[in-house]
Amino acid sequence: MLIFRKVFFAVLLALLCTQSVAAAKQSALKVHRHVSEQTWSVNSYLIESEKGLLLIDGQMLNSDAKLLAAQIKSLKKPLLAAIITHAHSDHFAGFSELRRQLGEFPLYSIASVVQGIEPFHNQFLTSYKPMYGDDLESTWITPQVLESGKVLNIGDIEFLPVDLGAGEAEAQLVLYFPAQRWLFTGDATMHRSFYYVGEGHSAEALLAFERLKKEFPEAQTLYAGHGDPARLNIVDQHIAQVRLLRETVSAAMSMPGNLDDKGQLTREALTKVVDDILAAYPYFYDYGLDARMLMSWNVLGLVKELGSTLAMTSE
Ligand SMILES: [Zn+2]
């Protein structure tokens, strides 16, 4: 009996050891998060493997890109490649400075994101160049196109890039690391913050949220472009938030006297909608922007989006 027990425990121990070796092999990657100091709490992520580093998103201002470059240098491993999750300048404008600091490295994104970079940055410069001057780069680097839905190996780092369509931005790339169950969402999720739908893609954002739940049910940690990491159930909160936005704006638009002759909400109606939504989420972060301004952009975007949907259905 004693021998049987000894054999049993020896087998159990051997099994546990093999499992932990397998787990160690699978979790050999490490995530480093770099948060911008100057602007909007933008996250860049460094995935560290034995062979090198993969960078996800490259900051907005040169001063922040310099700090990110210093972190990359401190890890003393080659930068194997970098990826842009979406064509918003707070995630890609810093790449010129990163190339100056670190030399050449491959830069990738999906075709729809690559196409959006030039028009978005030109528009962005009009608004923000006067504010940031030389700290905001006027030029940009055009990434090479990678294919959505096909597992990619960069050095010893393996992941699945997936085109999520429009939502917070006109095109969104998410990256799934199956062995680690990590999902890098760009701004497709923005944790414990006000979600941005100012570009008029709230209906598509709701579809994108459902896709995240359906296509990545195993995801354990979501790493977003802004905010702390979260679990997959944060997506349900996002769905509730965007639905509330749509319903509040839609209700305001249908109230007599709230729209002017250009189809815009009157100033009073806009203020009321913004107040109502901000009151629903008193603890949300605004990533260093003014919450009221951010929510006004959302409401203006929604008025346009919902207005054109109404016009289409009444035709
Ligand atoms: Zn962003």
Dihedral pair phi/psi, residue 82, rounded to 5°: -135, 155
Q: What is the helix (H) or strand (E) element at residue 307, kind and residue range? A: helix 291-314
pLDDT at 11 over 80: no
Facing residues of 277 across strands? none
Task: Give the residue-averaged pLDDT of 207-211.
Answer: 98
For residue 59, how far is its CA from the centre of ligand 1 (angstroms)? 9
**pLDDT above 70 covers what percent of the chain?**
89
Q: One-letter amino acid identity for 210?
A: E
pLDDT at 1 over 80: no
For residue 9, how far is its CA from the centre of ligand 1 (angstroms)? 52
Among 15-29, 78-92, 141-155, 289-303, the minimum mean pLDDT is found in 15-29
Cα(4)–Cα(23) distance, rounded to whole angstroms?
28
Task: Give the residue-averaged pLDDT of 278-297.
Answer: 91
**pLDDT above 90 covers what percent of the chain?**
83
255-270 pLDDT, tens digit per residue, is 999 999 888 999 999 9
pLDDT at 75 over 90: yes
Task: Give the residue-averaged pLDDT of 102-127.
Answer: 98
Tokens at 9, concatenated:
């425990």
For residue 76, how far is its CA from the centre of ligand 1 (angstroms)? 28
Please indicate whether residue 110 or residue 18 has the higher confidence score (pLDDT). 110
pLDDT at 57 over 60: yes
For residue 187, how far is its CA from the centre of ligand 1 (angstroms)? 6
Task: Give the residue-averaged pLDDT of 105-115.
Answer: 98
pLDDT at 278 over 60: yes
Band (7; pLDDT cuts 50, 70, 90): low
- Please report, for the chain, the start and end positions of each structural domain, with discontinuous segments joined by +: 28-233
For residue 168, how far is its CA from the centre of ligand 1 (angstroms)? 9
For residue 258, how far is its CA from the centre of ligand 1 (angstroms)? 31
Cα(243)–Cα(31) distance, rounded to whole angstroms?
32
Asked if 164 and 211 count as a contact pair (C-beta separation under 8 A), the reply is: yes
Residue 64's alpha-carbon distances to 43, 95, 129, 131, 242, in angstroms, are 11, 11, 16, 15, 30
Asked if 251 and 269 count as a contact pair (C-beta separation under 8 A), the reply is: no
Band (289; pLDDT cuts 50, 70, 90): confident
Band (43; pLDDT cuts 50, 70, 90): very high
Cα(141)–Cα(93) distance, rounded to whole angstroms?
8
pLDDT at 173 over 90: yes
Band (163; pLDDT cuts 50, 70, 90): very high
Band (305; pLDDT cuts 50, 70, 90): very high
For residue 288, how far is its CA from the centre of ligand 1 (angstroms)? 12
Pick the CATH number of 28-233 from 3.40.640.10, 3.40.50.10090, 3.90.190.10, 3.60.15.10: 3.60.15.10
For residue 83, how far is its CA from the centre of ligand 1 (angstroms)? 14
Q: What is the residue-averaged pLDDT of the chain?
A: 91
Say how many C-beta atoms besides its own lie within 10 A of residue 18's C-beta.
10
Please indicate whether residue 7 or residue 131 has the higher confidence score (pLDDT). 131
pTM, 2 dp? 0.89
For residue 268, how far is its CA from the centre of ligand 1 (angstroms)? 29
